[in-house]
Amino acid sequence: MADTFSDILADADDAILDGLGETVTITGKGTVVGVFEDEYDDDVDVQGSHPMFTYDTSDLTVVSGDELVRSNGSAYTVRVPESDGTGLTALILQED
Amino acid sequence: MADHRAEQILAAFTTACTGLATTGSNVQRDQVDPVESTPALSIEMGADTVVEGSDRNMGFLDSVLDVEVMAYVKNSTGLSTQLNQIRKEVHAAIYADTKLGLSSIVIDTGYTGAGDVIKSGDLEKEAAQQVFHYQVWYRHSLTDASA
């Protein structure tokens, strides 16, 4: 049977994450590959940024309160894991 | 020609709130853009209301100027604790001289409360803002608001 559109998109996501992603450590759980972003943001009239990490949900189960450590040593606490419903999860992060 | 007395009061208020232990020099007037450095204060002009019964026949007007002190913090923890510390420091600074160094203009200054703490979890650290309300009673000439 031919791949569905969702299957093709999931394969594309995997290829992009594996090719362009970075490896981070979820303390106590292991490593996972994904894309880290930290775009400018502001709220309540305060400037800041919005760090998040997107990865393949099937690679690892991450929950609120887990610690994410990048290769440069920057550490973050997972505030909320948000599933996009297509196999990817965006971890909304807070600086430690 | 001197500035409107409301402007003189806001400038004096800003001076009184500058250099405090927590917010230091992070003090601005009429904040429009999101603040870059926290903790910070912004001094905002509110309503300026002529006191009912102010005797226009005497050639002067008594008014009440609302001054809003906005406080901004960004921390991993303890937002309300830091806001309360800032509020304490602002309060002490204003009540050290409720005439704001303008004894010929200002009759009195009073604290009238604080607003809700408005919080955000959408940034790299938790952030919050809170407004502290003050009222400044002052007098100016009926024909010249700077005198």
ipTM of this predicted complex?
0.84
* pLDDT > 90 in chain B, percent: 82
Whether B31 and A95 lie within 8 Å, measured CB to CB:
no
A17-63 residue pLDDT tens: 888 899 999 999 999 999 999 999 999 999 999 999 999 999 999 99
Whether B121 and A47 lie within 8 Å, measured CB to CB:
no
> Residue A45 corresponds to which tokens in the numbers above?
């009239």
Give me the residues of A, 16-75, that contact B with CB < 8 A.
Answer: 38, 41-51
Q: How confident is the model at residue A1 (pLDDT cuts 50, 70, 90)?
A: low
B112-127 residue pLDDT tens: 999 999 999 889 999 9
> Phi/psi zone of residue B30: left (φ > 0), alpha (ψ -120 to 50 degrees), beta?
left
Burial (CB count within 10 angstroms: exposed 0-12, middle 13-18, buried 19+), residue A86: exposed
* pLDDT > 70 in chain B, percent: 98
* Chain B CB within 8 Å of residue A82 CB: no
DSSP 3-state of A66: coil
| pLDDT < 70: residue spans in chain B | 54-56
